[in-house]
């Protein structure tokens, strides 16, 4: 039963990936913690999120994306090791509480459709700071998409496809650094790797099914449903 649940979770995460270009880790983290301990969920989701972001980044036609995210990646190199250290010192209960709070805050932000007044996009210092925070949260909780999306939204003239492409490319490289960190820390053990033959196909199927479904459904309504699901999951994890 546990294995079927994990397959369904990653299938749903694949659907979300098609809608937003990210969100795999957010959905998977919020649901998998009900059946697996954080020490297994975090590296497992990191690997699958790396694969999924690579799937999106592979389709990118804009070759100037990497140049745009250099300040972010510079910060990631600093932030990822800090997140790895956090995992070594926090117990599973504390990790679950922090993840729950983060998911609740993220979902409320999305449901209220808040707009921030800061226009820090393109500034190298702010890019480094956001990249460091994103790397920290990716290494410790696999959740960096919201931070990068917030940074990108500061550029009000950006095209929707460029927005999605930049996030996917950034998350691929951040995920790569994170998976390397988990490997060096010895967290990629059999308890984690045994789920990959089921998780990877599930997310691929979800991704391509999402292309068929969401072509006929309003994406705004789908996003709101996703935020609501994350909010409920965050509340359940926290309490």
pLDDT higher at 111 or 31:
31
> In the numeric block, which tokens belong to residue 136?
């920290």
pLDDT score of 8: 94
69 — phi, psi (to 5°)? Answer: -105, 10
Is the predicted pLDDT of residue 2 greater than 70, yes or no?
Answer: yes
pLDDT score of 202: 94
Residue 93 burial (CB count, 10 A): 9
Q: What is the pLDDT confidence band of residue 118, given thresholds at 50, 70 and 90?
A: very low
How far apart (Å, rounded) are the C-alpha atoms in residues 201 and 224? 26
pLDDT score of 147: 67
Contact status, residue 53 vs residue 22, Cβ threshold 8 Å: yes
pLDDT score of 225: 67
Burial class for 204, CB neighbours closer than 10 Å (0-12, 13-18, 19+): middle
How far apart (Å, rounded) are the C-alpha atoms in residues 14 and 27? 9
pLDDT higher at 220 or 135:
135
Instruction: Report CA-CA distances (Å) from 93 to 31, 34, 59, 140.
Output: 16, 12, 39, 14
Q: What is the pLDDT confidence band of residue 119, given thresholds at 50, 70 and 90?
A: very low
Is the predicted pLDDT of residue 230 greater than 90, yes or no?
Answer: no
- DSSP, collapsed to helix, strand or coil, labels residue 154 as coil
What's the mean pLDDT in 211-239? 69
pLDDT score of 145: 66
Residue 235 parent element (H or E): helix 219-238
pLDDT higher at 98 or 39:
39
What's the mean pLDDT in 7-28? 81
pLDDT score of 25: 80
In terms of average pLDDT, the best of 61-65, 126-130, 188-192, 208-212 is 188-192
Residue 102 parent element (H or E): helix 92-112
Burial class for 4, CB neighbours closer than 10 Å (0-12, 13-18, 19+): exposed
How far apart (Å, rounded) are the C-alpha atoms in residues 64 and 122? 14
């Amino acid at each position: 039963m546990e294995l079927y649940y994990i397959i369904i979770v990653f299938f749903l995460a694949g659907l979300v990936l098609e809608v937003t270009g990210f969100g795999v880790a957010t959905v998977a983290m919020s649901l998998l913690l009900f059946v697996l301990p954080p020490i297994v969920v975090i590296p497992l989701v990191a690997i699958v999120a790396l694969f999924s972001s690579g799937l999106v980044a592979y389709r990118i036609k804009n070759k100037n994306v990497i140049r745009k995210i250099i300040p972010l990646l510079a910060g990631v190199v600093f932030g990822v090791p800090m997140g790895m250290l956090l995992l070594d010192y926090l117990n599973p209960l504390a990790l679950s509480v922090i993840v729950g709070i983060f998911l609740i805050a993220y979902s409320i932000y999305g449901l209220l459709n808040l707009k921030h007044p800061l226009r820090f996009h393109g500034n190298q210092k702010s890019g480094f700071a956001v990249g460091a925070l994103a790397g920290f949260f990716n290494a410790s909780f696999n959740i960096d998409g919201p931070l990068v999306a917030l940074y990108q939204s500061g550029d009000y003239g950006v095209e929707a496809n460029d927005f999605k492409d930049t996030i996917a490319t950034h998350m691929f490289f951040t995920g790569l650094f994170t998976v390397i960190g988990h490997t060096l820390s010895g967290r990629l053990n059999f308890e984690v790797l045994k789920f990959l033959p089921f998780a990877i196909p599930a997310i691929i199927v979800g991704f391509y099914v999402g292309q068929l479904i969401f072509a006929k459904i309003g994406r705004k309504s789908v996003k709101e449903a996703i935020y609501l699901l994350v909010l409920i999951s965050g509340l359940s994890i926290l309490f």
